[in-house]
Amino acid sequence: MTTEPQKQGMHLSERLSRSCPVCGASPEHAREFLAEQIDPTRLNTFSFASRKEPEFLNYHMVQCATCDLVYVDQPPSQEALADAYHVADYDSAEEAVDAATSYLREMQSLMARLHQGAALEIGTGTGILLDGLKAAGFASVAGVEPSASAVAAAPPYRRAWIREGIFHEKDFEPESFDLVCCFMTMEHVRDPLDIAQSVLRLLRPGGAFVTVTHDYRSIVNRALGRRSPIIDVEHMQLFSPRSITELYTRAGYTDVHAKAFANRYALSYWTRLLPIPAGMKRRLIKAQNATGLGQWRLAFNVGNTMVTGFRPTETAGSAR
Ligand SMILES: [Zn+2]
């Protein structure tokens, strides 16, 4: 792929101030959460890939005193982010399969309760979850994915389900989905409230919106501090259970429920995320792979939250 990291870094350096993207409180009502650490020469297309070794680059972040959200107060423009994700290299690792398996397991009881007509995944990657939703009984599935290389890596039958680009409400019929999923993506978008509101309008009454987000208040993330993988240049905001619940409620969802969520991954993947020197990490992964230990699947709650909310069946004005 011929991409130009330098040029892209400059594009990403055009920054615009914003208020809290969940509750709208101005940045004066926020306290500093994290000082900026950006090296434009190190920002490259892989910085926006979904799974990679942590780089410990981040934009300046503040913590909203009103809704508890941590957010970048001067993010790059929506267009710059869309471009960055469009050309992002895709790490087509088996972790995506493990992640989808974890999500489906956690959604089992929800899916049994829903009408299994149509499902949509925002940020679908190669569409692995769509396979699982089909197998779970959904009649039709669709996905949206901005990374061209991720879509290209999808098998042809799944590619037919995937719309390449940034999620736009107008690309879909109102009230046409029973389930919309958005996993590990709400941190990456410029306007998460706008997405939650758009999804509400795309859901049939009684349909569900499910997200998985990092929890910056979790013990693991607090212990790691700025060595946590959640501290990342890709993340335009970081949620806590309180702020993600607030987002759902403000968008008009009912029966909003948040729960801690354990991901099940291979040991080699967990090792890749460890805050230890790169050389030590490589030797550890090599040893694990040589012994087969690296393929062991382990479930850890690394501080993620799964939230479910429903479109009210009585559409008393809040939906539009
Ligand atoms: Zn706020």
For the chain, give the number of residues: 320
In this prediction, what percent of the chain has a pLDDT beyond 90?
49
Centroid of ligand 1 to alpha carbon of 107 (angstroms): 28
Q: Which domain holds residue 243?
A: 1-264+303-312
Residue 297 domain flag: no
Q: How far apart are CA 231 and CA 166, in angstroms?
A: 23
- pLDDT at position 218 over 60: yes
How far the first Cα of the chain sits from its last, in Å, is 42
CA distances from 246 to 21, 100, 181, 224, 309 (A): 11, 26, 18, 26, 11
C-alpha 243 to ligand 1 mean position (Å): 8
User: What mean pLDDT do residues 60-67 have?
Assistant: 94
Most confident of 44-48, 193-197, 231-235: 193-197
Instruction: Give the integer Cα–Cα distance in Å for 58 and 72.
Output: 9
- What is the CA(27)–ligand 1 centre distance, in A? 9
More confident: 7 or 92: 92
Residue-level pLDDT at 300: 61
Is the predicted pLDDT of residue 58 greater than 90, yes or no?
A: no
* Pair 69, 243: CB distance under 8 Å: yes
Cα–Cα dist 247/250, whole Å: 5
% of the chain beyond a pLDDT of 70: 80
Distance 97 CA to ligand 1 centre (A): 34
19 Cα to the center of ligand 1, angstroms: 8
The rounded Å distance from CA 48 to ligand 1 centre is: 25
74 CA from centroid of ligand 1 (Å): 15
Question: What value does the mean pLDDT take over residues 83-89?
Answer: 67
Ligand 1: centre distance to CA 222 (Å)? 20
The predicted pLDDT at position 115 comes to 95
DSSP annotation of 208: E
Using CA atoms, how far residue 39 sits from 34, 56, 100, 168, 300, in Å, is: 16, 10, 33, 31, 32
Lowest mean pLDDT among 14-23, 107-116, 164-173: 14-23
Query: Domain count of the chain?
Result: 1
Asked if residue 103 belongs to a domain, the reply is yes
pLDDT the model gives residue 77? 78
Question: What is the greatest pairwise CA distance in the chain?
Answer: 60
For residue 211, the CA-to-ligand 1 centroid distance in Å is 19
Q: How far away, in angstroms, is 24 Cα from ligand 1 center?
A: 6
C-alpha to C-alpha distance for 86 and 148, rounded to whole angstroms = 6
Ligand 1 midpoint to CA 70 (Å): 8
Among the residues of 38-190, which ranges form H helices?
A: 78-86, 95-113, 128-135, 148-153, 156-159
Determine the angle formed by the axes of helices 5-12 and 78-86, rounding to 10 degrees: 160
3 state DSSP class of 34: strand
> Which pLDDT score is estimated for 11?
65
Residue 119 sits in a domain whose CATH number is: 3.40.50.150
Weakest mean pLDDT among 82-96, 174-188, 212-226, 284-298: 82-96
In this prediction, residue 299 carries a pLDDT of 59
In this structure, is residue 295 part of a structural domain?
A: no
Q: How sure is the predictor about 3, in pLDDT bands with cuts at 50, 70 and 90?
A: very low
Q: What's the predicted TM-score (pTM) here?
A: 0.82
Q: Is residue 85 part of a domain?
A: yes
How close is the Cα of 147 to the center of ligand 1, in Å?
29
Structural domain includes residue 320: no
DSSP 37: B
Bridge partner residues of 209 (DSSP): 180, 309
- How remote is the CA of residue 69 from the centroid of ligand 1, in Å? 5
Q: Does 239 reside within a domain?
A: yes
Which residues neighbour 63 within 8 Å (Cβ) at sequence distance 6 or greater? 30, 31, 32, 33, 69, 70
Which amino acid is located at 39 in the chain?
Answer: D
Identify which has the larger pLDDT, 248 or 300.
248
How many whole angstroms from 18 Cα to the centroid of ligand 1? Answer: 11
Distance CA 86, CA 260 (A): 31
pLDDT band at 285 (very low <50, low <70, confident <90, very high): confident
User: Is residue 244 a part of any domain in this protein?
Assistant: yes
Q: Could you tell me the distance, in angstroms and rounded to a whole number, from the CA of residue 109 to the centre of ligand 1? A: 31
Structure tokens at 264: 């099940």
Ligand 1 centroid to Cα of residue 213, in Å, is: 16
Neighbours of ion ligand 1 (CB under 5 A): 20, 22-23, 25, 64, 66-67, 69
Q: Are 195 and 189 in contact (CB under 8 A)?
A: yes
Are 256 and 307 a contacting pair, CB within 8 Å?
yes
The predicted pLDDT at position 10 comes to 44
Residue 98 pLDDT exceeds 70: yes
> In this predicted model, what pLDDT tens digit does every residue of 110-167 receive, in sequence order?
999 999 999 999 999 999 999 999 999 999 999 999 888 899 999 999 999 999 999 9
Distance 14 CA to ligand 1 centre (A): 23
**Helix or strand (DSSP H, E) at 130:** helix 128-135
| C-alpha span between 196 and 251 (Å, rounded) | 6
Q: How far apart are CA 244 and CA 239, in angstroms?
A: 6
Q: How far apart are CA 85 and CA 149, in angstroms?
A: 10
Residue 71 CA to ligand 1 center (angstroms) comes to 9
**How many other β-carbons are positioned within 10 Å of the β-carbon of residue 62?**
20
CA of 315 to the centre of ligand 1 (A): 26
Q: Say if 81 falls within a structural domain.
A: yes
Measured in Å, residue 67 CA sits from the centre of ligand 1 at: 4
238 Cα–ligand 1 center, Å: 11
Confidence of residue 34 (pLDDT cuts 50, 70, 90): confident
Region of poorest pLDDT, from 19-28, 182-191, 310-319:
310-319
